[in-house]
């Protein structure tokens, strides 16, 4: 899955293939770019994927070198996501996104000072808020904000930066995750 500082010109030049239910780019045999708006079957779980985010620092970046307008999903990618979710009855096990839904993004940025101003609301976080409110999902993992933190009453939203997580079935039909670190799973 992509974020917001990818070289989208290079990604877009790769052949698009189908893999585990969604569209991908094979960057290397073991490095796979899960494309936006797909529902993938991964290890027996259904995962909705929506990459991309708005760069708050794009004014200091160079277009085509360190910033690409494709960082924000276009209308076709957003519509593809809606179609894929509808095809699965709007029920998935995991949501994997780069940005967070608006309510969680606001919680993540609370106390960050005025640097973010009114930039919490944007097309990506607003779309993901719609996903949050209209779909049935169990765990949501996102990055973008460069911290490792959990949100939600049951820590069902997890912001990842350094952490690697292992998702497991909890024995009650639900899912759980554990943070894996260099000392093993904790």
pLDDT digits (tens, 9 = 90+) for 121-159: 789 999 999 999 999 999 999 999 899 999 999 999 999
Residue with structure tokens 């009855």? 89
Q: How far apart are CA 151 and CA 104, in angstroms?
A: 7
Q: How far apart are CA 186 and CA 177, in angstroms?
A: 10
pLDDT band at 165; cut points 50, 70, 90 = very high
pLDDT score, position 61: 94
pLDDT band at 113; cut points 50, 70, 90 = low
- CB-based contacts of 82-88 (< 8 A; 24+ apart in sequence): 83/37, 84/22, 84/37, 84/38, 84/39, 84/48, 85/39, 85/48, 85/131, 85/135, 87/39, 88/39, 88/46, 88/48
Whether 115 has a pLDDT exceeding 70, the answer reads no
């Amino acid at each position: 899955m992509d974020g917001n500082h990818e070289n989208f010109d290079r990604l877009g030049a790769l052949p698009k293939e189908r893999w585990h239910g969604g569209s991908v780019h094979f960057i290397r045999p073991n490095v796979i770019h899960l494309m936006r708006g797909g529902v993938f079957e991964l290890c027996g779980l259904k995962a909705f994927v929506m990459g991309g985010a708005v760069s708050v620092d794009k004014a200091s970046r160079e277009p085509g070198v360190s910033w690409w307008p494709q960082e924000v999903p276009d209308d076709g990618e957003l519509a593809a996501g809606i179609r894929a979710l509808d095809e699965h009855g709007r029920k998935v096990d995991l949501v994997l996104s780069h940005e967070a839904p608006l309510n969680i993004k606001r919680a993540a940025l609370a106390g960050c000072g005025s640097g973010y101003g009114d930039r919490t609301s944007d097309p990506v976080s607003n779309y993901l808020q719609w996903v949050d409110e209209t779909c049935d999902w169990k765990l949501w993992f996102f990055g973008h904000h460069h911290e490792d933190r959990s949100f939600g009453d049951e820590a069902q939203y997890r912001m990842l930066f350094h952490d690697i997580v292992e998702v497991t079935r909890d024995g009650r039909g639900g899912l759980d995750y554990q943070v894996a670190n260099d000392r093993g799973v904790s």
